[in-house]
């Protein structure tokens, strides 16, 4: 299979398409946690409880109202190999925790992969909508419609005073986590990133790596999300996050302008060197890949690099991950061989853009 054919099949819509403010905000994600009334939380449930949750969810997604919202398929974790489950993690469709739930875990994936629902993770259900660019409100509307459709067939655990009940107290209330994945190389290169992220934390937001809690930040990518779910409406939570995100966007754009004004030649040299490494390297690890891709995407956004798709950062940050690489090459790869194959895939991907330019 050619890389072009593989991309058409394997790349999610959020990876392929652009959106508002997507020079800085790569994706917007809304995640809604729900539990079913009368059943223990997943950490306490028996095998029969877990199987019942999956059965009820299977019935719910087949309802006419859910079918109006898209085509959904449920897959149990035990039906997938560990490699396939990790591919779903790398595509940001499920969490690393669900990938470990081989016995009881399941996932519901919409055909366009903008929507995924984790079953029997920390909570019975976690509805996730992920959109390209800054589209938090659209993401909330999409998640809310799915939540309402499911609630016509499922009875949620709800308290009149505390709202939706969740396994973790930090999610009690609305059960909503709104987040954006931001590319902030300007703030990093000007030495302002730590000050900005500290300020973000002080207004009640969390800053994490690209795979959420406990993950590292590579390639100047940061996930910014709300921490408070109780005492505010979903719309207020989304609006508060969006307000801070717009301020970060402004600071990042100002930082990029400052970099160009102070030493354009040095910046051009940096992004061109990174492009050269990606275009010609014969071996490269994951961390360096993300760092070089960050430079190249910055160069594309500033007009320094021409003829390369701006979406390449989103595509390759997923495609060059270990499980995805092994899926593409149809076999298990040792770490050293992954580095070699990763470099080859990047070179091939860059040639695709080059052929499009000269067609």
Q: Determine whether the annotation assigns residue 126 to a binding site.
A: yes
Q: Determine whether the annotation assigns residue 261 to a binding site.
A: no
Q: Determine whether the annotation assigns residue 179 to a binding site.
A: yes
For 262, residues 6+ apart whose C-beta sits below 8 A from its C-beta are: none
Q: Determine whether the annotation assigns residue 70 to a binding site.
A: no
Question: Among 252, 253, 226, 223, which residue's Cα sits nearest to residue 239?
Answer: 226
Residue 131 in 3-state DSSP? strand
DSSP character at residue 28: E
Show the CA angle centred on residue 318, arms to residues 346 and 331, nearest 5°: 75
Q: Determine whether the annotation assigns residue 235 to a binding site.
A: no
Q: Determine whether the annotation assigns residue 217 to a binding site.
A: no
The Cβ of residue 154 has, within 10 Å, a number of other Cβ atoms equal to 19
- In degrees to the nearest 10, what's the CA dihedral of 223, 17, 237, 211? -30
CA 251, chain centre distance (Å): 23
CA distance 299 to 274: 10
DSSP character at residue 302: T
Buried b (16+ CB within 10 A) or exposed e, 177-186: bbbbbbbbbb
Q: Determine whether the annotation assigns residue 181 to a binding site.
A: yes
Q: 276-279 long-range contacts, Cβ below 8 Å, gap at least 24?
A: 278/346, 278/347, 278/350, 279/346, 279/347, 279/350
CA distance 250 to 273: 27
Q: Determine whether the annotation assigns residue 231 to a binding site.
A: no
Based on C-alpha coordinates, what's the Rg of the chain? Answer: 21
CA 183, chain centre distance (Å): 13
Helices (H) and strands (E) in the chain, counts: 14, 10
The Cβ of residue 143 has, within 10 Å, a number of other Cβ atoms equal to 22
**DSSP element (H, E) containing 18:** none
Q: Determine whether the annotation assigns residue 341 to a binding site.
A: no
Q: Determine whether the annotation assigns residue 342 to a binding site.
A: no
Q: Determine whether the annotation assigns residue 27 to a binding site.
A: yes
Q: Determine whether the annotation assigns residue 208 to a binding site.
A: yes
Q: Determine whether the annotation assigns residue 338 to a binding site.
A: no
Q: Determine whether the annotation assigns residue 225 to a binding site.
A: no
- Write out the binding residues for ATP: 27-31, 92, 126, 177-181, 208-213
- Binding residues are 27-31, 92, 126, 177-181, 208-213
């Amino acid at each position: 299979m050619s890389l072009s054919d593989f991309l058409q099949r394997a790349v999610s819509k959020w990876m392929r398409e652009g959106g508002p403010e997507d020079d800085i905000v790569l994706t917007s994600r809304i995640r809604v946690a729900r539990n079913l009334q009368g059943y223990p939380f997943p950490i306490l449930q028996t095998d029969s409880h877990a199987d019942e949750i999956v059965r009820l969810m299977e019935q719910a997604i087949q309802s006419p109202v859910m079918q109006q919202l898209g085509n959904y398929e449920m897959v149990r974790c035990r039906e997938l190999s560990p490699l396939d489950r990790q591919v779903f993690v790398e595509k940001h469709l499920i969490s690393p925790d669900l990938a470990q739930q081989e016995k009881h875990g399941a996932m519901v994936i919409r055909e366009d992969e903008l929507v995924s629902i984790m079953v029997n993770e920390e909570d019975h259900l976690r509805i996730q909508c992920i959109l390209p660019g800054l589209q938090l409100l659209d993401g909330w509307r999409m998640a809310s419609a799915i939540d309402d459709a499911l609630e016509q067939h499922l009875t949620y655990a709800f308290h009149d005073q505390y709202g939706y009940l969740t396994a973790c107290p930090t999610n009690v209330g609305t059960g909503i986590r709104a987040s954006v994945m931001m590319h902030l190389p300007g703030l990093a290169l000007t030495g302002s990133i730590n000050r900005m992220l500290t300020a973000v934390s002080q207004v009640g937001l969390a800053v994490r790596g690209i795979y959420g809690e406990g993950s590292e930040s590579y390639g100047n990518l940061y996930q910014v999300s709300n921490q408070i779910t109780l005492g505010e409406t979903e719309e207020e939570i989304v609006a508060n996050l969006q307000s801070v995100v717009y301020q970060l966007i402004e600071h990042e754009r100002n930082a990029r302008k400052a970099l160009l004004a102070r030493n354009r030649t040095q910046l051009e040299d940096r992004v061109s060197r990174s492009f050269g490494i990606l275009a010609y390297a014969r071996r490269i690890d994951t961390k360096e890949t993300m760092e070089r891709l960050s430079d190249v995407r910055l160069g594309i956004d500033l007009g320094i690099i021409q003829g390369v798709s701006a979406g390449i950062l989103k595509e390759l940050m997923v495609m060059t991950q270990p499980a995805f690489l092994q899926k593409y090459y149809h076999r298990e790869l040792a770490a050293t061989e992954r580095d070699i194959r990763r470099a080859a895939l990047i070179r091939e991907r860059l040639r695709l853009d080059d052929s499009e330019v000269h067609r």
